[in-house]
Structure 1
Amino acid sequence: MRRASPEEIRKLRMMADYLFGEGVGERLFPDGIAVVESRGRIRQVWMEGEPVCAVRASDGHIILNRRGALALLGAL
Protein backbone atom coordinates (compact mmCIF):
# COMPACT_ATOMS: atom_id res chain seq x y z
CA MET A 1 0.00 0.00 0.00
CA ARG A 2 1.28 3.47 -0.84
CA ARG A 3 0.08 7.05 -0.94
CA ALA A 4 -1.81 7.91 -4.15
CA SER A 5 -0.20 10.37 -6.57
CA PRO A 6 -2.07 13.55 -7.53
CA GLU A 7 -2.68 12.09 -11.00
CA GLU A 8 -4.20 8.90 -9.55
CA ILE A 9 -6.45 10.94 -7.25
CA ARG A 10 -7.56 13.03 -10.23
CA LYS A 11 -8.45 9.90 -12.23
CA LEU A 12 -10.36 8.34 -9.31
CA ARG A 13 -12.29 11.57 -8.81
CA MET A 14 -13.16 11.74 -12.51
CA MET A 15 -14.49 8.17 -12.46
CA ALA A 16 -16.52 8.86 -9.29
CA ASP A 17 -17.99 12.01 -10.87
CA TYR A 18 -18.91 9.99 -13.96
CA LEU A 19 -20.53 7.17 -11.98
CA PHE A 20 -22.17 9.04 -9.10
CA GLY A 21 -22.54 12.67 -10.17
CA GLU A 22 -20.46 15.80 -10.50
CA GLY A 23 -18.60 16.82 -7.35
CA VAL A 24 -18.81 13.44 -5.64
CA GLY A 25 -15.20 12.56 -6.45
CA GLU A 26 -13.79 15.37 -4.30
CA ARG A 27 -15.71 14.17 -1.24
CA LEU A 28 -15.20 10.46 -1.85
CA PHE A 29 -11.45 10.70 -2.52
CA PRO A 30 -9.80 13.46 -0.46
CA ASP A 31 -6.07 14.14 -0.66
CA GLY A 32 -4.02 11.65 1.33
CA ILE A 33 -5.73 8.43 0.27
CA ALA A 34 -3.69 5.25 -0.13
CA VAL A 35 -3.88 2.73 -2.95
CA VAL A 36 -3.08 -0.94 -3.42
CA GLU A 37 -1.79 -1.87 -6.85
CA SER A 38 -1.68 -5.09 -8.80
CA ARG A 39 0.00 -5.36 -12.18
CA GLY A 40 0.49 -1.61 -12.33
CA ARG A 41 -3.17 -0.67 -11.82
CA ILE A 42 -5.06 0.52 -8.76
CA ARG A 43 -7.11 -2.30 -7.22
CA GLN A 44 -8.13 -0.86 -3.84
CA VAL A 45 -8.42 2.57 -2.26
CA TRP A 46 -7.88 3.05 1.48
CA MET A 47 -8.52 6.05 3.70
CA GLU A 48 -7.45 6.34 7.36
CA GLY A 49 -6.52 2.66 7.50
CA GLU A 50 -9.84 1.39 6.15
CA PRO A 51 -10.78 0.25 2.64
CA VAL A 52 -13.12 2.58 0.75
CA CYS A 53 -13.54 0.78 -2.56
CA ALA A 54 -12.16 -1.61 -5.10
CA VAL A 55 -11.52 -0.78 -8.73
CA ARG A 56 -12.85 -3.40 -11.13
CA ALA A 57 -10.07 -4.68 -13.38
CA SER A 58 -12.21 -5.17 -16.49
CA ASP A 59 -13.45 -1.59 -16.87
CA GLY A 60 -12.02 0.55 -14.04
CA HIS A 61 -15.39 1.13 -12.40
CA ILE A 62 -15.48 1.84 -8.68
CA ILE A 63 -17.07 -0.75 -6.41
CA LEU A 64 -17.83 0.82 -3.05
CA ASN A 65 -17.67 -1.06 0.20
CA ARG A 66 -19.52 -0.03 3.37
CA ARG A 67 -17.26 2.92 4.20
CA GLY A 68 -17.33 4.13 0.60
CA ALA A 69 -21.11 3.86 0.46
CA LEU A 70 -21.45 5.91 3.64
CA ALA A 71 -19.10 8.55 2.21
CA LEU A 72 -21.15 8.62 -1.00
CA LEU A 73 -24.36 9.03 0.99
CA GLY A 74 -22.82 11.98 2.81
CA ALA A 75 -21.73 13.54 -0.49
CA LEU A 76 -25.19 13.45 -2.08
Structure 2
Amino acid sequence: MTNLELHAPALAGLEGDLASLRGDCARMVPHWSAPDRIVSLPVSPSLIHGVTVPSRSARLLDAMSEYGD
Protein backbone atom coordinates (compact mmCIF):
# COMPACT_ATOMS: atom_id res chain seq x y z
CA MET A 1 0.00 0.00 0.00
CA THR A 2 1.28 3.45 -0.88
CA ASN A 3 1.13 6.22 1.68
CA LEU A 4 0.31 9.42 -0.18
CA GLU A 5 0.83 12.46 1.96
CA LEU A 6 0.11 15.87 0.54
CA HIS A 7 1.64 18.86 2.22
CA ALA A 8 0.28 22.29 1.47
CA PRO A 9 2.08 25.39 2.67
CA ALA A 10 0.50 26.87 5.77
CA LEU A 11 -1.65 29.85 5.05
CA ALA A 12 -0.61 32.77 7.19
CA GLY A 13 -3.49 34.39 8.97
CA LEU A 14 -6.13 31.89 7.86
CA GLU A 15 -8.02 32.66 11.02
CA GLY A 16 -6.31 36.01 11.43
CA ASP A 17 -7.56 39.52 11.66
CA LEU A 18 -7.97 42.41 9.25
CA ALA A 19 -4.33 43.43 9.67
CA SER A 20 -3.09 40.06 8.42
CA LEU A 21 -5.50 40.20 5.47
CA ARG A 22 -4.24 43.68 4.56
CA GLY A 23 -0.67 42.42 4.79
CA ASP A 24 -1.45 39.51 2.46
CA CYS A 25 -3.05 41.91 -0.02
CA ALA A 26 -0.09 44.29 0.16
CA ARG A 27 2.27 41.44 -0.68
CA MET A 28 0.14 40.54 -3.73
CA VAL A 29 -0.02 44.08 -5.18
CA PRO A 30 3.07 43.65 -7.40
CA HIS A 31 1.37 40.65 -9.05
CA TRP A 32 -1.77 42.56 -10.04
CA SER A 33 -2.13 44.90 -12.96
CA ALA A 34 -4.99 47.23 -13.74
CA PRO A 35 -5.69 49.45 -16.70
CA ASP A 36 -5.09 53.15 -16.19
CA ARG A 37 -8.67 54.06 -16.93
CA ILE A 38 -11.82 52.22 -17.92
CA VAL A 39 -14.37 54.21 -19.85
CA SER A 40 -17.81 52.67 -20.00
CA LEU A 41 -20.53 54.13 -22.12
CA PRO A 42 -24.21 53.93 -21.25
CA VAL A 43 -26.18 51.20 -22.97
CA SER A 44 -29.66 51.78 -24.28
CA PRO A 45 -32.24 49.56 -22.52
CA SER A 46 -33.52 48.51 -25.96
CA LEU A 47 -30.17 46.77 -26.56
CA ILE A 48 -30.43 44.68 -23.41
CA HIS A 49 -32.37 41.52 -24.15
CA GLY A 50 -32.22 37.82 -23.55
CA VAL A 51 -31.47 38.05 -19.85
CA THR A 52 -33.32 35.42 -17.88
CA VAL A 53 -33.19 34.69 -14.19
CA PRO A 54 -34.11 31.22 -12.99
CA SER A 55 -37.09 31.29 -10.64
CA ARG A 56 -35.00 29.57 -7.97
CA SER A 57 -32.49 32.42 -7.99
CA ALA A 58 -35.23 35.03 -7.96
CA ARG A 59 -36.86 33.38 -4.93
CA LEU A 60 -33.49 33.20 -3.16
CA LEU A 61 -32.82 36.90 -3.68
CA ASP A 62 -36.37 37.79 -2.70
CA ALA A 63 -35.89 35.93 0.58
CA MET A 64 -32.71 37.87 1.43
CA SER A 65 -33.52 40.88 3.54
CA GLU A 66 -30.68 42.99 2.09
CA TYR A 67 -32.24 42.76 -1.36
CA GLY A 68 -35.92 42.35 -0.66
CA ASP A 69 -36.52 45.09 1.89
TM-score band (shorter)? under 0.3
TM-score by length of 2: 0.19
TM-score by length of 1: 0.17
| Structure number with bigger Rg | 2
Which structure shows the higher helix fraction?
2
Which structure shows the higher strand fraction?
1
